[in-house]
């Protein structure tokens, strides 16, 4: 009886082996997670500097820059570090990224939609759809870019910058350098928008192209500028009314990320299947629908946050954790990116992003003028 109770109390050899394997796996992940975390922490600390905030440089942007610096300077000099941190870096840019996108929903509520009305939602949807379609058409047909790069640039320009590019990466199945090129275009032209939009507001005061005064211009800025931080920096220069409406319009645009990813996944699967069927090689795999489950998690978190059950302090802490997770993913992406691959991409990605910026400014202004008039 005593022997039986002893054998039940002590773990069996299978359980011990499993525990040992888990410890080894965790130990293998630690160097990469610590390195990504350190770079993310540095990026978040730099992101709190007033000058960088005023110029729209977010923690995510700074984290990827720091990751690229380390990945292209320290990694080649210390190859053992690159080898030891590889597993943890991969977890950061894949698993932590998905978790970060899910928790991003805590920044949004369904009530945000009511603040901009049907016209605001329609404006965001039209800007998103037209910008992404232009990116795919001009990028692949006119500029000869590969489809994945064009899609990522279009996603970043049309939704919410670097976070949208990172969220689309597992759906598009892009390489690290393609993602980094897309993020770079968002940083360059989103930063340019920070300085352009206050001047556009002054022009609009005379031309009255966009109705609604500062509030109307805020919706225009929120529906057309790339990053959330860039929207805040640009609209704040116009005034508090413009800043408030710009942030709400931007948040509604961010909320469209989940349905966009689902539709993009379905479109890619159908397109791959069509190519496989028309190919002469019968051994090609059929296109599969890569369901971005984390997008549904994002929607679920938005709906839960809309109930306002969580205290504001808990939401604030969780949002900070989410920023850290996304910054770790960006830092890991930077570590995996080689400068040579970006140089190889050439000027065409920047040219595409410049064309899209022109569309966001001009086409976005026309959409912001006509949609409220059509909807009364």
DSSP characters for 138-161?
A: IIIIIS---HHHHHHHHHHHHTTT
**Rounded distance, CA 55 to CA 36, Å?**
25
On whether the CB atoms of residues 331 and 43 are closer than 8 A, the answer is yes
Q: What is the predicted pLDDT for the residue at 35?
A: 95
Distances (CA, A) of 257 to 163, 221, 228: 10, 18, 13
Angle at 136 between CA 59 and CA 225, to 5 degrees: 35
**Rounded distance, CA 332 to CA 326, Å?**
10
Report yes or no on 27 lying in a domain.
Answer: no
On whether the CB atoms of residues 165 and 227 are closer than 8 A, the answer is no
Report yes or no on 217 lying in a domain.
Answer: yes
**Rounded distance, CA 255 to CA 105, Å?**
8
Buried b (16+ CB within 10 A) or exposed e, 344-373: ebeebbbbbbebbbebbbebbbebbbebbe
Q: What is the predicted pLDDT for the residue at 280?
A: 47
Q: What is the predicted pLDDT for the residue at 289?
A: 56
- pLDDT tens for each residue of 264-287: 998 988 877 776 666 545 444 444
DSSP characters for 192-227?
A: HHHHHHHHHHHHHHHH--S-SHHHHHHHHHHHH-SS
Report yes or no on 96 lying in a domain.
Answer: yes
In the Cβ-directed half-sphere of 70, how many Cα atoms lie within 13 Å?
Answer: 25
DSSP characters for 243-308?
A: HHHHHHHHHHHHHTHHHHHHHHHHHHHHHHHHHHHHSS-TTPPPP-----HHHHHHHHHHHHHHTT
Report yes or no on 24 lying in a domain.
Answer: no
Q: What is the predicted pLDDT for the residue at 285?
A: 46
Q: Three-state DSSP class for 32?
A: helix
Structural domain boundaries enclosing 338: 37-278+289-374
Q: Which of 188, 179, 185 is nearest to 338 (CA)?
A: 179
Report yes or no on 72 lying in a domain.
Answer: yes
Q: What is the predicted pLDDT for the residue at 284?
A: 46
Q: What is the pTM (predicted TM-score) of this model?
A: 0.77
Query: How many structural domains does the chain have?
Result: 1
Residues 62, 65, 67, 73, Cα dihedral to 10°: -140
Report yes or no on 19 lying in a domain.
Answer: no
Residue 322 has φ and ψ, to the nearest 5°, of -65, -40
Report yes or no on 7 lying in a domain.
Answer: no
Report yes or no on 2 lying in a domain.
Answer: no
Q: What is the predicted pLDDT for the residue at 36?
A: 95
- What residues of the chain score a pLDDT lower than 50? 1, 4, 6-7, 9, 280, 282-287
């Amino acid at each position: 009886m005593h022997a039986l109770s002893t054998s039940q109390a002590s773990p069996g050899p299978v359980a011990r082996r499993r525990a040992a394997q888990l410890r080894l796996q965790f130990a293998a992940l630690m160097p990469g997670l610590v390195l990504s975390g350190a770079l993310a922490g540095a990026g978040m600390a730099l992101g709190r500097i007033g000058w960088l905030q005023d110029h729209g440089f977010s923690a995510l942007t700074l984290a990827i820059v720091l990751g690229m610096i380390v990945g292209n300077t320290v990694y080649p000099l210390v190859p053992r570090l690159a080898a030891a941190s590889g597993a943890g870096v991969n977890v950061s840019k894949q698993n932590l990224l998905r978790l970060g996108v899910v928790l991003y929903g805590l920044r949004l509520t369904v009530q945000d939609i009511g603040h901009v009305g049907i016209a605001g939602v329609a404006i965001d949807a039209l800007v998103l759809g037209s910008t992404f379609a232009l990116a795919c058409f001009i990028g692949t047909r006119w500029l000869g870019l590969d489809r994945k790069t064009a899609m990522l640039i279009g996603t970043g320009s049309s939704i919410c910058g670097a976070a949208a590019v990172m969220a689309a990466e597992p759906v598009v199945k892009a390489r690290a350098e393609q993602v980094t090129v897309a993020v770079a275009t968002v940083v360059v032209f989103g930063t340019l928008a920070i300085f352009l939009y206050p001047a556009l507001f002054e022009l609009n005061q005379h031309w009255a192209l966009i109705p609604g005064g500062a509030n109307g211009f805020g919706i225009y800025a929120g529906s057309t500028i790339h990053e959330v931080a860039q929207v805040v920096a640009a609209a704040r220069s116009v005034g508090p009314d413009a800043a408030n409406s710009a942030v709400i319009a931007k948040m509604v645009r961010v909320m469209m990320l989940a349905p966009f990813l689902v539709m993009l996944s379905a479109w890619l699967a159908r397109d791959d299947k069509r190519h496989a069927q028309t190919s002469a090689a019968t051994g090609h795999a059929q296109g599969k629908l890569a369901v971005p489950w984390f997008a549904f998690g994002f929607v679920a978190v938005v709906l839960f946050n809309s109930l306002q059950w969580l205290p504001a302090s808990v939401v604030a802490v969780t949002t900070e954790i989410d920023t850290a997770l996304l910054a770790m993913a960006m830092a890991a992406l930077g570590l995996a990116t080689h400068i040579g691959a970006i140089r190889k991409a050439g000027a065409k990605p920047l040219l595409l992003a410049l064309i899209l910026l022109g569309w966001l400014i001009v086409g976005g202004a026309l959409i912001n003028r006509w949609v409220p008039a059509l909807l009364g």
